[in-house]
Amino acid sequence: MPGRSVRERVLLVDSQDESRRALQLLLQGCGMDVRAFSSAAAAMAETMLEQIRTLLIARQLSDGDAIELLRRLAARGWRGRAILIAGESHAELDDAARDAGFAGVVKKPVGRLELLGALAR
């Protein structure tokens, strides 16, 4: 439909159901199109990866970790912005995340302003 804006597509991966659902609702409330998964394996099965602009990945997943998932998605050709969701944030973790290709780190529980700030960077 002409004139219709395209919503930003976000891939959210978090093994914790409550956290994933809260983030999904928060992102959808901000007008984003969210594909949410509970595992790295499910995220790897995403068929429309080329349409995903942003990844939000929890540090620890039930079947792996965020850094490995980011590497696997990049190997499949994904090129976008990735943000790590961590239980804690400190200089060493932030540096390791950036070295792995993450644009930023947000701390759980993720607040609206913190998340929107990370997405805007």
**pLDDT value of residue 4:** 42
Helix (H, G, I), strand (E, B) or coil at 41: helix
Tens of pLDDT, residue by residue over 75-108, are 999 999 999 999 877 788 888 899 999 998 998 8
Query: What is the four-CA torsion angle of 61, 78, 103, 57, rounded to 10 degrees?
Result: -20
Counting residues of the chain whose pLDDT is more than 70, the rounded percentage is 94
Helix (H, G, I), strand (E, B) or coil at 102: coil
State the Cα–Cα distance between residues 103 and 41, nearest whole angstrom: 22
Mean local confidence (pLDDT), 7-33: 93
State the Cα–Cα distance between residues 84 and 67, nearest whole angstrom: 9
- Domains of the chain (ranges; CATH) run 9-120 (3.40.50.2300)
Q: For all residues of the chain together, what is the average pLDDT?
A: 89
Q: How confident is the model at residue 6 (pLDDT cuts 50, 70, 90)?
A: low
State the Cα–Cα distance between residues 89 and 45, nearest whole angstrom: 29
State the Cα–Cα distance between residues 119 and 106, nearest whole angstrom: 10
| Predicted structure pTM score | 0.89
